[in-house]
Every structure is written in C-alpha cells, then in structure tokens.
Structure 1
C-alpha cells in the first residue's frame, strides 16, 4: 500500500489541465509558485506525518452558540463567519461571500473526509441577496462546488477566482460565469468596492497530480468603509505579503486571518499560520480589527478543537494587545462597524 501511495503522489502530469498562459515570476508554464515559499512536501513526508501523527481528539459535535440571520443590506460594514473560511461581508450595499462551504464534508467524497462539527452559522436559505463570491483557492475546504451551484441558481452572483479555477468550476457547472485574475490584478464589484488579488503563501490541488496548477490568492477589498483583507490560507513566511498589503493599500480596517490547521509545525508551517504567526501578521498590517477563522469546524490537522483561540489569547497577551482587537469567531458570530 505504501508503494502504491508513493507512486500516485509522485507521478507527474504531462500538462496543466486548468490554465495555459505566459511564464511569469510566479508561473513556470506548468505550475504556479512563490519564490518566498519552500518547496512542496515530498511524498515520504506526507506519509511520515500520517504514520507519526498523534492528533488531539475532537468532539463529534462542537456547536456554536450563534446563528445569524443577516439583514438584506447594511450601511456600514458587517462581517459574519459562516464557518471555517466562509464569511458573509456586507459593505456599501453589497453582500459578498468568501469561500462558501456548506457541505457536511470538506472532501471529494460524500462518505469520507473531514466532517464538519457544527452547522453553518448562516443557513443557505437565510443568505441575503448575494452579489459576489470570492474564491481563494481550490482545496475542498474552500471550494465547495455543490454549494456554489445552489448559490448560483438562487442569486446569480459574480464569481471571482484566481487563474485556472474557472476551469475547475465550469467542468462541473458549465453554465456558471467565472471571472479570474492574477496576483496584482483587480475587479470592480460596484458601489465603490474593488477586489484585488494578492499573493498568499499556500498551494492548490484537487487531486494527487494537479498540485499548484491553479493559482491561489488572498483578497484586499477597497471600500467606502475602509480596506478589508481576507486571507483564506497562508503561511507567515518572511511576512512580506503583509508588508506589501499595508504599503499598497494602507492599514486595513478589518482583516480576516486564519488561526487554525497548524500542527505539526514541521509539516504545516509553510502553508498555515499558527496563532502566534497570525498576531505577527496583524501587527505588520497595522489592522484596526482582526477576526480569526479557519478553526473549529473541520478537523484538518493535529491540534485540538479549542487550542487555536487559547493560543491566540496567549499570543495577544505576549504582544501586549487587547483581546478585543483580534477575535476568534465562532460560526454565526458577527462583527460590525457603523458609519460615522
């Protein structure tokens, strides 16, 4: 079995099935990459993690005390965690979803893979009219094609994704219109809101042989209510991506920063921040407010279900920062800022 898995992980593809475009400083003609990020994990390292892992047990259910029924429109800025990295951002009369995952499992299979331990903090039927959906990358805990189909059928939103992800979406749902962009590009969402594609230290894959063949990103939203920075997944790396956001767009009014899926560090550090990393990123950004996500819904790695918020509280104390400035949200929990 071990030799079969190793062969499957290491067998190269002959071509990129998702994207064909010019070579750039982060695309070699076949795969996307980041010069500041380490090389891919070897198949032997993946197997080592699986064989040596000693995960902290998770409960079968970890219900949130919150359940949100959002208004149709807000005048200021409101952000609600639906679960994991799925947010509803309401700003400037627009309703924007990030990485909407509503399925019971973050998996290509309906009967296996990470199973959610709490329901979505907003029911699909309780969503207000959705104007745009922002996809950061194609991992199953961020790109839920079944949810996208239901959202598209009811709301007909603009679907925004980094390069190559349109091919993945349209292969399942050819009727969907998907707008794609590269790092450094942007799209106008209307009402004074613009979505900018910015780098993240992560990777992509839908299977064993398509690693880094579709681009991944974070988003900066420039809005009348200030700058919003949404990170789906990233490692901290050298911290330059956060310095660049502050230099290019100014200190964010609000930052969505991942704080979970980080153990064991020897394996996860290049692609997932831990709470200490997230606090460092928060300080570099100079954000007024941060909301922690990517924890407590799907068990992806080895830390316990409540360890991320506990570690975040300790990191904030160590940095001399108020806990209220960086809140680890539970599904259905809302944060809002009124105009004036």
Structure 2
C-alpha cells in the first residue's frame, strides 16, 4: 500500500516532506536578501529548528532556493544535498560535505526513498524531483516553467500522489516581460496531466520589494488563482493552500503501477 505523506510549508518553496520515516527539505531559504529576495510572508521555522533531515533537495542555485549556508550554520553540514549539478559550488562554499546530482530521469536512494531527477527550465539551469516510496510518489517543482518533458512523469514514474507546484508566473520586466516560472494556468494544466490526489501550491508570496516589483519583476501572489484554474482543468485533485507552519497529511489512493 502507498505510504502516507505529510507536507509542512515553511515559506516560499521551502517545505518539509515526511515520507514514511524519511524527512526531506526542499529549496531551503531562511534569510531574506534585500533588495531582491524577500519571502513576503513569515517563516514557520528557522534552520536550527528543523527536525532531523534525511536529505535536502535543491532545484537550482538562486538565493531564494539555495540557502545552504543557513543549514551548515545550524550544524547540518553533513546532510546529503540532492540538487541540480550547478548547485555543487554553492554547496561546497557553504561547507556541505555530501552532494548528489543525478542526471535527468536517473535516481538515487536516500534512506528508504528513491529520488528521481526530472527536467526543469528556469532562468538558470534547474532540476525538479520525484520522491518515491512504497507506491507513493511526490513531485516537487522548485520554480520551473511548464515544459513538455514534464508530461512524461506519470509514464516514467507512476501515478503521482502529491504535487508541489509553483504558481506565481514570475516575469522579468527588463527582458521583455519574459516568463521564467509557471503561472496559475500552466500549473493547472500540469496538474491535469499529473492527476495527483493532492496539490500544494508554493512560490507565490515572494516579493522583490516595492521598487523592484514595479521595475524588475511581475508576478501573481494570489494562490487562489491557481485553485480556480485547477478546479476547472483538474477537478479530481484536492488543492490545499498551506500557510507557513501548517502541515497537511495525505493518504494516497492505491493507483500504483510499480513500487520502488
């Protein structure tokens, strides 16, 4: 039977995923970095308050997703980092001593969980991830765009139980309003393809500050726009919008094809 999963949102794209007795942290970010990087919401936990971690997943090297220095400073320098290859220098600079970077569609075993690297696309190189254990599959996209390669996830991995998707559709104004993160409609279309039991949206409260929000970036900070789109395009999926510090528990439907 699929194992239950618990998701706790800390802030932004930083979440705790408890899968069986394994606990994973995604895209750590514990310190604002003005003027550009501001969470726009309170953080539920400081790095020193985290529970014991099985591994840390890092999708890419931007400061709001790759705060490995805070983890190292909290005494977690030996925690395994599973990340896009471009994160290696940041991990080394922070003093993290265990680093894994599987190629896209390759997997590594950490604890009792299989972690599969999945394609992503952003303003810098990005990897997304699926965590799999006993028929439960959890997909985490840091702040990727919706790209065609993601449509292959159910066929290559199996039925997705929980998806953690960005929704703010971040655009860079000086780059002709170039979109670098999936927006609410994109995330809803991906939800329809993945057909998960539950989706937790993230990456929406982020702000660049009053001036930069007007001159540099444009974004959708309301996750309810995603809920409305997902209700229309993927009505089977339960959308759960979590405030920082809130935990949701999911007991996945037994729809598995293969168990890792």
Q: TM-score normalized by structure 1?
A: 0.65
Task: Kindly state the Cα deviation for residue 335 of structure 1 after the two structures are TM-superposed.
Answer: 1.3
What do residues 223-281 of structure 1 show as CA deviations (whole Å, max 9, x unaligned)?
Answer: 125001000011124xx222210110122000001011434796343x21111110100
Return the match for 2:146 from 231, 236, 239: 236
* Cα 1:231–1:175 shift into 2, 3 Å: closer
In structure 2, the residue matched to 1:274 is 183
Question: Counterpart of 2:45?
Answer: 122
143, 151, 161: which one aligns with 2:83:
161
Q: Give the Cα–Cα distance (whole angstroms) in 2 for the partners of residues 303 and 163 of structure 1.
A: 27
The DSSP-based 3-state class of the residue aligned with 1:328 is coil
The structure-2 alpha-carbon separation of the partners of 1:167 and 1:337, relative to structure 1 and needing over 3 Å to count, comes to: same
2:101 is paired with a residue whose SS is: strand
| Alpha-carbon separation, structure 1, partners of 2:94 and 2:69 | 10
Establish whether residue 246 from structure 1 lines up as the match of residue 149 from structure 2. Answer: no
1:178-217, Cα deviation, whole Å (9 max, x unpaired): 12222122110122x110111012242xxxxxxxxxx420
- Judging by fraction of residues, say which structure has more strand: 2
Cα contact 1:251–1:288 (8 A) shared by 2? no
Gap runs ≥5 in structure 1: 1-74, 106-110, 205-214
Q: Which runs of 4+ in 1 moved over 6 A?
A: none
CA contact (8 A) 1:92 1:225 kept: no
Which residue in 2 is equivalent to 1:202? 122
Gaps of 5+ in 2: 254-260
Give the equivalent residue in structure 2 for 1:26. Answer: none
> Which position in structure 1 is the counterpart of 2:28?
100
Contact 2:189-2:230 within 8 A present in 1 as well? no
Contact (CA 8 Å) 2:118, 2:150: kept in 1 or not? no
Distance of 1:182 and 1:310 partners within structure 2: 34
Hey, what does 1:3 align to over in structure 2? none
> Of the two, which has the highest radius of gyration?
1
TM-score norm. by structure 2 comes to 0.83
Q: Does 1:291 align with 2:200?
A: yes
Change (3 A) 1:233 1:76: same
**What corresponds to 1:30 in structure 2?**
none
**Residues 256, 291 of structure 1: 8 Å contact kept:** yes
Q: How many residues align?
A: 242
Deviation, 1:123, is: 3.2
